[in-house]
Amino acid sequence: MLRLDSPTVATAAPAPIEQDENSSPWRWRGELLGLAVVAAIGGVALRVFAPSPLWLDEALSVQVASLPFVDMVEALRHDGHPSLYYLLLGWWMDVFGDSDGAARSLSAVASLGTVPVVWAIGRRRSETVAWFAAIVALTSPYLLRYGTEARMYAALTFLVAVAWLVTERAVERPSLKRLVLVSLATAALVHTHYWSFWLIGAALLVIAAEGLRSTERRRALVRVGLAIIAGTATFTVWLSVFFEQLGSTGTPWADRARPAEIAIETLQAMGGNNRFEGELLGVIVLFVALLGAFGWAKRDETVELRFGSGPLSIAVIMTTVTLAIGGGIALVTAGAFEGRYAAVVVPFVLLLAARGVSVLPRRAATATLSVLVLFGLAIGVDEGRRDRTQAGDVARAIDSDHGEGDIVAFCPDQVGPATHRALQADLDAVAYPRGDGTLIDWQNYADTITATSPEAFLERMTAAAAGNQVWLVVGLGYKSLGNRCEAIIEQLSRTHRAHHLVSPSEAFEPMLLSRYEPLE
C-alpha cells in the first residue's frame, strides 16, 4: 500500500528503510533471473533488428559522415548539428563499411554501452537499483529505437550517463584524473547535440545551489564546476559554424514547441512511440519513476511517499530543470522539440524507474518489472518491424524500369536522401526547392520555398529531362510547402502521360512515385 505523509509527519516518524538497500536482488532468483535473461536476449536482438532502409535523417547522417572533414563542416553549416557524431560515424564506416546495418551498429553499441553505465550509477545507491536499472535499460523502448537508428541520440544518451557517473565521482574526490574525465565528457556532449547545453546549464545550477548550501563540499563543487566549464569552452572551435546555423537553419520542419508538447513527447519517447501502446507504457514509466523519486520502502512492505531528498533526488532535479530550460528557450526562440531530444534526460528517468521498482514489495516489484520488460520488448518488436520509409519500394520501381536519359525529381528534397541511397540506377536528379536531393540545405529553407515557384522548378526539371521520362517522387504534408508539390503534379500531368506506381503507405516516411512520359 502507499501512504502519503506530510513533511512534518514524515520528519517525526522513524526514518524509512530502503528495501534491499544492501542486498542482492538475486535472492529473488527465479523471477529475476528469468527476466534478466529475457531482457538481455531481447534487448541485444532488437538493437540489431531494423530491416527498413535508412530514412531521411539516417541517410543524411551517412552522407555527411562520408565526406572529407572540410566538406563535412560545410555540409553541417547547412544542416544544423555539431560534428562529433558525424566524425565518429565516418571513422566507424571506414572500418565496418557503409551498409545500413554497419551504419546503425554504432548506435547499437552506444545503446548497449549505456546499460553498464546506468548499472554503475545505480550501484552507487544499491545493488538492487543497479540490476533493476540494467534490466530496464536493456528493454527501454527509447534505447531500443535509437539503438537501431544511424543518428546521434543513442550516443547522446550514453554520454549523458557517462557524464553523470564521472561528475558524481569527481564531487566525491576531485582528483585531476576525475576532473579531466568530467571535462572530456562535457566536451563530448556539446559537440554531439545542442540540447546538451540545457543539461549543462542545469548541472551548473545544481552545483551552485549545493555549493551555497554545503560549505564542506564547496571546494570540490567549485572544481567540478570549473571542469564542466572547461569542457564546454571547447565549443569555441565550433562557434562560427554554430552562429551561422543559428541565423539561417533553425527548425523549418516543425512548429514552435510548447511546454505541454515537450512533456507529452518526452513521455511518448520513453514509451517508444506516439501511438496508444507507447503512450500507455510512457505513463507506466512515469508513474514508476515518480515512485522512485518519492517512494520509500518500509519493513512492513508498505511504501511511504515523502517529498524530500532521496537517493536519486539529483535525477528529479536534473530532469525537471533541463526540460524547463530547454522548453523555455524553445518557446521564446520559436524552436522545435522532438521526442528524440529527450536523450538528455533518459538516464535519469531510467534510474528513477529502477528505484521505483526497488521500493515495491516483492510481488509488486516482480510484476512491475515484468510489465516494463515485456511491454518494452513488445513495442521494440513492433517498432523494429515498422517501415521507416518507402524509399526501398520507390527505388526498386525505378531500378526495374528506367530508361537511358531518364531523370528523378523530388518534391520536396526531403524525400531525396533516402531514395538516393536505395537507388542502384545512376540517374540525374533535381529536387524542389533546390539541389538534387542528395543533401538538404536547411539554410533559409522556408524563404527558399517561397521564392521558388512550381513553374520555375518545372522548367529546371524539363530542361534536365531533355525529352526523356521523369520519375517524380513526392512526399505530401511537409511544413512550409503548402500545395506546391500538388501544383507540380497537376502541371506536369498536362504535358506528360502519368503512370502512378507507388502509393503512400503507413510508413513513417511515405512517398508517392509516378513516371511521366512526354506527350507526342
- Within 234-304, residue ranges assigned H as helices are 239-248, 259-271, 276-294
Please say whether the beta carbons of 303 and 18 come within 8 A: no
Task: Please give the pLDDT value at position 22.
Answer: 39
What are the helix and strand counts (H, E) for the chain?
23, 8
When pLDDT is averaged across residues 507-512 and rounded to a whole number, the result is 94
When pLDDT is averaged across residues 114-134 and rounded to a whole number, the result is 94
Higher-pLDDT residue of 11 and 302 is: 302
pTM: 0.91
Quick: pLDDT tens for 68-114.
999 999 999 998 899 999 999 999 999 999 999 999 999 999 999 99
Distance CA 442, CA 439 (A): 9
Q: Which residue(s) pair with 512 in the sheet? A: 474
Neighbours of 67 (CB within 10 A): 16
Quick: pLDDT tens for 310-347.
788 899 999 999 999 988 888 887 777 888 999 999 99
When pLDDT is cut at 50, 70 and 90, the band that residue 254 belongs to is low
What Cα–Cα distance (Å) separates residue 157 from each residue in 233, 452, 486? 21, 39, 40
Quick: pLDDT tens for 452-505.
999 999 999 999 999 899 999 999 888 888 899 999 999 999 989 999 999 999
Q: Please check the confidence at residue 197 and state whether its pLDDT lies above 80.
A: yes
- Neighbour order of strands in the sheet with 303-305: 2-4, 303-305, 295-297
Task: Please give the pLDDT value at position 174.
Answer: 94
Mean pLDDT of the chain: 89
When pLDDT is cut at 50, 70 and 90, the band that residue 278 belongs to is confident
- Sequence letter at residue 271: G
SS in 3 state form for 345-398? Answer: CHHHHHHHHHHHHHCCCHHHHHHHHHHHHHHHHHHHHHHHHCCCECHHHHHHHH
When pLDDT is averaged across residues 182-203 and rounded to a whole number, the result is 97
Please say whether the beta carbons of 220 and 176 come within 8 A: no
Please say whether the beta carbons of 200 and 219 come within 8 A: no
- Sequence letter at residue 128: T
Which residues are CB-neighbours of 48 under 8 A, at least 6 positions away? Answer: 101, 105, 108, 148
Task: Please give the pLDDT value at position 274.
Answer: 82
Please say whether the beta carbons of 163 and 189 come within 8 A: yes
Distance CA 1, CA 362 (A): 13
**Domain residues of the chain, as ranges?**
2-385, 391-518
When pLDDT is averaged across residues 164-188 and rounded to a whole number, the result is 96
- The closest alpha carbon to 101, from 40, 44, 51, 146, belongs to 51
Distance CA 83, CA 65 (A): 9
Residues in the chain: 520
Distance CA 327, CA 322 (A): 8
Greatest alpha-carbon pair distance for the chain in Å reads 92
When pLDDT is averaged across residues 40-63 and rounded to a whole number, the result is 93
Residues 387, 390, 393, 396, Cα dihedral to 10°: -120
Q: Is 516 left (phi over 0), alpha (psi -120 to 50) or beta?
A: beta
Please say whether the beta carbons of 372 and 136 come within 8 A: yes
Cβ-in-10-Å burial (0-12, 13-18, 19+) of 428 comes to middle
Distance CA 134, CA 139 (A): 9
Scanning the structure block, which residue is given the C-alpha cell 545550477? 205
When pLDDT is cut at 50, 70 and 90, the band that residue 27 belongs to is low
Distance CA 283, CA 295 (A): 17
Angle between helices 153-172 and 100-123 (to 10 degrees): 30
Task: Please give the pLDDT value at position 253.
Answer: 55
Percent of the chain clearing pLDDT 90 (strictly above) = 68
Task: Please give the pLDDT value at position 308.
Answer: 73
Q: Please check the confidence at residue 199 and state whether its pLDDT lies above 70.
A: yes
Distance CA 342, CA 339 (A): 6
Task: Please give the pLDDT value at position 498.
Answer: 92
